[in-house]
């Protein structure tokens, strides 16, 4: 199946006191297998909200999200959680690694959650090699550079062989040299493994790494128009 993710007229309104905030408005997207797509736009334009809707972490106010043709609104919370666990790898600006655990242990936990409790150390080694950190298996997050921590977080996102990687500002906490490494790692994963990736960023320069760019403003897609 080539269709990985579709959104139809997707919208999200937050209510704060008596004020409605239209964070996402009428977004139609179609992401196919093997694509590397960036979603770029200024702070507050609704990128993270859109990512949360696409990942089934938030419920839309209007419209629908389909993952491999499954309408996320038509399944229950535990089925949605299963899709999140098994099909989507998340990467965030603040790596979200467990600080008391080393790289291998962080990946073990992700593997146990995704694969019914089983752990495959060979697979962990292979994925750590893929992100260029095969010699950092036993380092805890604070014993790694920021760029290395993000690469462990990317390894974690990949560990269960996800259908889709959703990355929200993965270079937001990194200097330019490390940003470059992380962006090119994503590029390699897309090119060499055919990994489908959606990269969210406010940085126009970073967005160019993707093969297809989508621009957002005020909750809407303004490019392509």
The residues of the shown chain that bind ligand ATP, judged by CB under 6 A, are 14, 16, 21, 23, 41, 43-49, 202
Binding segment for Mg ion (CB under 5 A), chosen from 42-50, 66-74, 105-113, 171-179, is: 42-50
Nearer to ligand ATP, 48 or 171 (CB): 48
> In this structure, are residues 203 and 38 in contact, taking their beta carbons and an 8 Å threshold?
no
Q: What is the DSSP string of 105-174?
A: HHHHHHHHHHTTT---HHHHHHHHHHTT-TT-TT--GGGS-HHHHHHHHHHHHHTT--SEEEEESTTTTS
Selected binder of Mg ion within 6, 38, 48, 179 (CB under 5 A): 48
Nearer to ligand ATP, 23 or 154 (CB): 23
Place of tokens 């389909």: 66
Minimum CB–partner distance for residue 45 and ligand ATP (Å): 4
Minimum CB–partner distance for residue 168 and ligand ATP (Å): 7
Nearer to ligand ATP, 31 or 40 (CB): 40
First to last CA, the chain: 27
Q: Which does 19 bind (CB under 5 to 8 A by kind): Mg ion, ligand ATP, none?
A: none
Q: What is the DSSP string of 48-84?
A: HHHHHHHTTSS--SEEEEEETTEEGGGS-HHHHHHHH
Minimum CB–partner distance for residue 49 and ligand ATP (Å): 3
Which residue minimizes CB distance to Mg ion? 48
Minimum CB–partner distance for residue 34 and Mg ion (Å): 25
Binding site for Mg ion (CB under 5 A): 48
């Amino acid at each position: 199946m080539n269709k990985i993710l579709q959104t139809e007229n997707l919208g999200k309104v937050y209510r704060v006191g008596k004020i409605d905030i239209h964070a996402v408005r009428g977004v139609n997207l179609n992401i196919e297998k093997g694509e590397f797509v960036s979603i770029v736009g200024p702070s507050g334009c609704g990128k993270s909200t859109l990512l949360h809707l696409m990942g089934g972490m938030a419920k839309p106010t209007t419209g629908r999200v389909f993952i491999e043709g499954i309408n996320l609104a038509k399944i229950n919370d535990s089925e949605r959680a299963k899709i999140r666990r098994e099909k989507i790898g998340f990467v965030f600006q603040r790596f979200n690694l467990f600080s008391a655990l080393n790289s291998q242990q962080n990946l073990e936990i992700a593997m146990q959650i995704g694969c019914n409790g089983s752990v495959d150390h060979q697979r962990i080694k292979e994925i750590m090699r893929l992100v260029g950190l095969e010699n950092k298996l036993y380092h805890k997050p604070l014993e790694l550079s920021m760029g290395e921590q993000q690469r462990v977080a990317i390894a974690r996102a990949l560990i269960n062989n996800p259908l889709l990687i959703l990355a929200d500002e993965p270079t937001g906490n990194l200097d330019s040299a490390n940003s470059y490494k992380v962006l090119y790692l994503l590029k390699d994963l897309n090119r060499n493994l055919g990994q489908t990736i959606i990269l969210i960023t406010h940085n126009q320069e970073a967005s160019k790494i993707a093969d297809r760019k989508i621009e957002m403003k005020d909750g809407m897609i303004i490019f392509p128009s």
